[in-house]
Structure 1
Amino acid sequence: MRGRRRFRTTVAVVTAALLSAGALSGCTAGEPSAVRSATRPAPSPTPLWDVSPSSVAAVGDSMTRAFDACAVLSDCPEVSWATGTDTAVNSLALRLLGPEKVAARSWNLARTGARMAELPEQMAGAAARRPELVTVMMGANDACRPTPDLMTPVEDFRASFETALFRLRKGAPKAQVYVTSVPDLKRLWSTGRVDPVGRQVWKLGICGAMLADAEDLGPAAERRRTAVQDRVVAYNRVLKEVCAGDVRCRYDGGAVFGFRFDGEQLSPWDWFHPSKDGQARLAELAYRRITAA
């Protein structure tokens, strides 16, 4: 009994010494570290995506320039879905910046007729303005060639898009990027081919690979249209994959490709480009995606 009492006394003395030295749990000032960390709130991480950017640069092709939206064979950037000032369209820039800041804090650098090979140059121009958000709508002209064999190869399309993002990151490393999918050109053909005006306009050479001989439903014409459709799907896969590799890039998830443009949303002069109403729909799709949590 005396031996057991002596042992318990020794253990108590040693334990008290260790506690006073802070040796049992790495504690300081007598408080275990686990207790201290449990009482301190964890710091909130800074989100990489800002849902309210304060400046917008738009790059791309005729759709961002609002070609044929106001008058035949003319750009109409004031109704552009990305940076337009027309309140009826309510562009992305108007929604994000407000009417008083659109002119000073948004830039439309798109060019009618541009293909993906031109995007690196446009991106460099955007980077020079140090925008907080860059919108990209490019690829329709790469598929809309006179014949399918002239369409931009998928590998070249990918290389140009990767280079474009690199050029942007070199000059504006923290700029956010919103990338739209290429529209569904086959659905556009299906919509417009029943309209006699649309068919006549398309005979002038608009997007020949898809829209030529719009009433021809033979096997050769169907193979041609399917080849174009497959290339558009491949382009959209590239846009999605490359964008996914950049933490400040958002792809639209196929929203533009999936949108069903009808006669009201297509230009009455070419039945191909978005009308003012179509531009408004594009602005709404972009705003939803950009401001999503």
Structure 2
Amino acid sequence: MRKQRRRRSRALVGAVAATAALGVAGCDVVDGASGAPDGSRTHASRAVQLWDRSPASIAAVGDSITRGFDACTVLSDCPEVSWATGTSEQVDSLAVRLLGRTKAADHSWNYAETGARMADLSDQVAAAVVRRPALVTVMVGSNDACRSSVRAMTSVADFRAQFEEALGTLRKALPKTQVYVASVPDLKRLWSEGRTNPLGKQIWKLGICPSMLGDADDLTATAVLRRDRVQQRVEDYNTVLAQVCAKDRRCRFDGGAVYRYRFGTDQLSHWDWFHPSTDGQSKLAAIAYRTVTAKNPVD
């Protein structure tokens, strides 16, 4: 009996020590081998523990939306109203909301380019990593669908490979930098809202998103099918963004929030009735802030 009690005592001490060791390891256990012997710890629980809801610096990559195109003057970038890194009080960008207006000016950088497609993202990321940002924001894909024709749109397979390449570029340089990924907007809704404005339709003829906006008043079966195919490609792109992001423990997708947002005429540029206005940029900033600061990732 005395030997049995000693064995039970040693076993209890060992269990307590093991528990204490796991407690000290904390997130390191999650980062490496799973704390659960059967690997049952979910991706969601790992992401919650790894995610910093108050990153100290931000770099933005993407396309004309992140550059504030047509928000201030016609056919021009206006990065000061960018939803991601702008300094305008009309917008209160993600950087301002996270860092404060003074710090945002020195700790946020905008590497987005008007006209950029997913194929351009890896080079933008390569430029951004020099700043070693704590958070990288991604909004890209509209120009992959907004091509001269449906046939010219980026294939879903290429879109996936290019996004994976861009994340790979980031991870090689900055394995712990967080990533916020915005969904591609609902281009068909933007067409539906903007086509009510004669001035906007004249601007569209200059070449803004011809696959969706071309012949804006054409409601024939052929035109409807063309727009539906563009819309389906946008939805496929968003599926890719969600799937690729889900494989990275430090990546958060917005869960389709930008795609679902019902942009009205107040949220559209009064220069082209397609890109976000300053009010639209503010709405995008609010969506990003909710996603970045949420306790749990969006499903």
Normalised TM-score (structure 1): 0.89
Deviation at 1:166, TM superposition (A): 0.2
2:179 corresponds to 1:199: no
Deviation at 1:231, TM superposition (A): 0.6
Superposition pairs of residues 115-134 of structure 1, within 5 angstroms: 115-134=117-136
In the alignment, structure 2 segments of 5+ residues that lack a partner are 28-48
Deviation at 1:205, TM superposition (A): 2.0
Aligned AA (1:123)? V
Deviation at 1:202, TM superposition (A): 1.5
Aligned AA (2:23)? P
2:23 corresponds to 1:43: yes
Deviation at 1:283, TM superposition (A): 0.2
- Give the aligned partner of residue 9 of structure 1: none
Q: 1:18 to 1:154 in 2, by over 3 A?
A: closer
Aligned AA (1:133)? L
Aligned counterparts of 1:138 and 1:72: Cα–Cα separation in 2 = 21
2:16 corresponds to 1:32: no
Aligned AA (1:80)? S
1:94 maps to which of 72, 86, 96: 96
- The secondary structure found in structure 2 opposite 1:287 is helix
1:285 maps to which of 284, 287, 299: 287
Identity among equivalent positions (%) equals 60
1:224 maps to which of 199, 212, 226: 226
Per-residue CA shift, 1:211-269, capped at 9, x if unaligned?
A: 11111111000110011001101111110000000000000000010011111111111
**8 Å contact from structure 1 (residues 58, 108) kept in 2:** yes
- Give the aligned partner of residue 63 of structure 2: 61
Normalised TM-score (structure 2): 0.87
Aligned AA (1:222)? V
Per-residue CA shift, 1:181-233, capped at 9, x if unaligned?
A: 00000111111112222222222221110011111111000110011001101
Aligned counterparts of 2:124 and 2:86: Cα–Cα separation in 1 = 18
- The secondary structure found in structure 2 opposite 1:94 is helix
Aligned AA (1:151)? M
How many residues in Structure 1 have an aligned counterpart in Structure 2? 273
**8 Å contact from structure 1 (residues 128, 172) kept in 2:** no
1:256 maps to which of 258, 280, 291: 258
- The secondary structure found in structure 1 opposite 2:158 is helix
- Give the aligned partner of residue 6 of structure 1: none
Aligned counterparts of 1:195 and 1:80: Cα–Cα separation in 2 = 24
Aligned counterparts of 1:18 and 1:158: Cα–Cα separation in 2 = 61
Moved over 6 A (4+): 37-42
In the alignment, structure 1 segments of 5+ residues that lack a partner are 1-14
**8 Å contact from structure 2 (residues 197, 273) kept in 1:** no
- Give the aligned partner of residue 7 of structure 1: none
2:2 corresponds to 1:16: yes
Aligned AA (2:86)? G
Aligned counterparts of 1:214 and 1:93: Cα–Cα separation in 2 = 36
Kindly report the root-mean-square deviation, in angstroms, between the aligned alpha carbons of the 2 structures: 1.9
- Give the aligned partner of residue 215 of structure 1: 217
- Give the aligned partner of residue 160 of structure 2: 158
- Give the aligned partner of residue 243 of structure 1: 245
**8 Å contact from structure 2 (residues 87, 104) kept in 1:** yes
Q: 1:36 to 1:193 in 2, by over 3 A?
A: same
Q: 1:129 to 1:39 in 2, by over 3 A?
A: closer
Greater CA deviation, 253-262 or 193-202?
A: 193-202
**8 Å contact from structure 1 (residues 209, 225) kept in 2:** yes
Aligned counterparts of 1:160 and 1:123: Cα–Cα separation in 2 = 12
Q: 1:124 to 1:217 in 2, by over 3 A?
A: same
Task: State the structure with more CA Rg.
Answer: 1
Q: 1:35 to 1:138 in 2, by over 3 A?
A: closer
Aligned counterparts of 1:182 and 1:206: Cα–Cα separation in 2 = 16
- Give the aligned partner of residue 266 of structure 1: 268
Q: 1:263 to 1:38 in 2, by over 3 A?
A: same
Aligned counterparts of 1:42 and 1:168: Cα–Cα separation in 2 = 30
